[in-house]
Amino acid sequence: MRLLHTSDWHLGRTLYGENLLTHQAAFLDWLLAQAIAQEVHAVLVAGDVYDRAVPTTDAVTVLDRALRGFAAARIPVLVTSGNHVAGVHLRTAVADIARPVVLADEHGEVALYGIPYLLPDAVMDELGAERSHASVLAAAARLIRADADERGITRTVAAAHAFITGGVPSDSERDVRVGGIGDAPASVFAGLSYVALGHLHGQQDLSAAAAVTTVRYSGSPLAFSFSERYHTKSVTLAEIDGAGQVRTTKLSTPVPRALREVRGRLDDLLADGGPASASDLAEAWVRVVLTDPVRPAAPMERLRAKWPHTLVLDFAPDGELTGAATDLSRLARTADPVQICGHFVEFTSGGAADEDQQAVLRDVIEAVLASDRADGLLEAGQGPAGRPSDDLADANSIDEWLAHAGRDDDWLAEAAREAGGIGEAGGNTAAA
């Protein structure tokens, strides 16, 4: 029996604002062509088909078109739901776990089961399990083995959306362990022939922990973060022989654009002979980390002139940024809003505001003050008085101070009363 295993399509997801749906639709066209060319018996999709619980109509259209294509080619598709996606069809409920799709090849029958993402709190009672991911998945696997035994089927496959112990995440999964209560060992699937996993976005094999059972993450077909720039994205072709032994092959998926990351000072990056001359960067989705000690002007515009698909710009200035504690004490010593904004510029860019920048800051602040006066928020001739600079000196953190800045009540005394001497507890949760 030949099965195509894939997961984590996340239809409708964007990559740092870049719409991926066209590329996702192209992947689905490619998948159908592969399914036909490889003469597979079925396609397994182990969750996270859509990116959101309520998908956009465009994303629905793309999935609908793909499923019609598979139906027209008479290739069954088994889809399970992920941790945040309402199901498409088929296996999305606990009651469906032991309701297999049974397919046959020349060696006899194979039972395909779908395990939706099992949130322990939601399903533990129904499954008679404890409040852990390992316990609910083990219960689901027991249901599957019992059903297969009853049917007299020895070759069994399960598609599951789960975090299995030993799996390596990237930056683009939404953590299922937080609400999911831990991960589950691959050994819970012992006795099955093949476990088609979804959730982790990098393909990986966890079979070693499950004896003769082949346990694999197919990974997502596209990268959703720069942490995946070294992944070779693929779907898994799983071939199950008459004895239930599984052989897997990775089929690399189409790459819409490579993901690249470059680091350095802006002028160096853009210099002739620098990386900007590399043609692959012009075609790639690029993350740039600028190390200029002082943040250069209009960096994104300049980068995009060379590398039009630059998506992310981060700053990691050479040399040290001002420490938070130092910053706090410096802020406490000044009541001049221009200086305060200057500190902010210095904090974020790693260099002091120059004269031109200070002039801009002064203009903006005076305009704001004038507007406040016009609105009656400040008395004529009054600056931003009452600014709680004394309070600032006593605050435990900038967050705490910001949470109370501009309040005319005696918040420090109040906070002290509320905290009952606990000290640091206050502050950080208010505002924002």
In this chain, which stretch among 42-50, 158-166, 353-361, 400-408 interacts with Mn ion, using CB under 5 A? 42-50
Q: Rg (Cα) of the chain, in Å, rounded?
A: 28
Residue 48 vs 292, nearer CB to Mn ion: 48
Alpha carbon 367 to its chain centroid, in Å, reads 41
Interface region with Mn ion, contact rule CB under 5 A, candidates 48-56, 68-76, 222-230, 363-371: 48-56
Query: Which range in 6-14, 99-107, 205-213, 388-396 contacts Mn ion by CB under 5 A?
Result: 6-14
Sheet holding 101-105, edge to edge: 101-105, 108-115, 155-161, 194-198, 214-217, 204-205
Nearest to Mn ion of 48, 400 (CB atom) = 48
Residue 293: which residues within 8 A CB-CB, separation 6 or more? 317, 318, 319, 350, 351
Contact (Cβ atoms closer than 8 angstroms) between residue 369 and residue 384: yes
- The window from 2-10, 126-134, 286-294, 389-397 that contacts Mn ion (CB under 5 A) reads 2-10
Compare residues 131 and 174 and give the one whose CB is closer to Mn ion.
174
Q: How far apart are CA 401 and CA 416, in angstroms?
A: 14
Total interface residues for Mn ion by CB under 5 A: 2
Our CB check for Mn ion shows the closer of 48 and 228 to be 48
**Going by C-beta distance under 8 Å and a sequence separation of 6 or more, which residues neighbour residue 431?**
402, 403, 404
Would you say 8 or 400 has its CB closer to Mn ion? 8
- State the DSSP string of 185-202: -GGGGTT-SEEEEES-SS
Residue number, nearest CB to Mn ion: 48
Residue 186's closest CA among 204, 203, 211?
211
Residues 398 and 381: their CA atoms lie apart, in Å, by 28
Stretch that binds Mn ion, among 46-54, 89-97, 182-190, 363-371 (CB under 5 A): 46-54
Tell me, residue by residue from 57 to 76, as one string, x for binding to Mn ion by CB under 5 A and - for no binding.
Answer: --------------------
Site string for Mn ion, 118-157 (x = CB under 5 A): ----------------------------------------
**228 binds Mn ion, rule: CB under 5 A:** no
Render 160-186 in DSSP notation, one character per residue.
EE--BTT----SSSPPSHHHHTS-B-G
Alpha-carbon distances of 243 from 148, 239, 240, 246, 278, rounded to whole Å:
15, 11, 8, 9, 51
Q: How far is the CB of 250 from Mn ion (least distance, A)?
A: 18
What does the alpha-carbon distance between residue 273 and residue 105 come to, in Å, rounded to a whole number? 59
Which is closer to Mn ion, CB of 23 or CB of 145? 23
Roughly how many angstroms between the first and final C-alpha of the chain, as a whole number?
56
Question: Which C-beta is closer to Mn ion: that of 54 or that of 368?
Answer: 54
Minimum CB separation from Mn ion for residue 176, in Å?
A: 9
Closer to Mn ion by CB, 119 or 416: give it: 119
Cα separations in angstroms, 422 against 12, 417, 426: 47, 10, 8
Crossing angle (nearest 10°) for helices 21-37 and 57-72: 10
Binding residue for Mn ion (CB under 5 A) from 8, 228, 292, 400? 8
Eight-state DSSP code of residue 313: E
Supply the minimum distance, in Å, between the C-beta of residue 220 and Mn ion: 6
Give whichever of 62 and 331 is closer to Mn ion, judged by the CB atom: 62
- We find the least distance from the C-beta atom of residue 139 to Mn ion, in angstroms, to be 23
Pairing of strands 77-80, 214-217: unpaired
Work out how close the CB of 237 gets to Mn ion at its nearest, in angstroms, rounded to a whole number. Answer: 21
Measured over the CA atoms of residue 26, residue 32, residue 36 and residue 38, the dihedral's sign is: positive
Question: What's the closest the beta carbon of residue 201 comes to Mn ion, in angstroms?
Answer: 6
Q: Which is nearer to Mn ion, 217 or 285 (CB)?
A: 217
Using CB under 5 A as the binding rule, whether residue 48 contacts Mn ion is answered as yes
Q: Using the rule CB under 5 A, give the single segment among 3-11, 19-27, 103-111, 381-389 that binds Mn ion.
A: 3-11
Write the DSSP assignment of 323-342 as a string of letters: PHHHHHHHHHT---HHHHHH
**By CB under 5 A, which span of 4-12, 108-116, 269-277, 418-426 interacts with Mn ion?**
4-12
For residue 34, the minimal CB distance to Mn ion (Å) is 21
Q: Which residues would be at the binding site for Mn ion (CB under 5 A)?
A: 8, 48
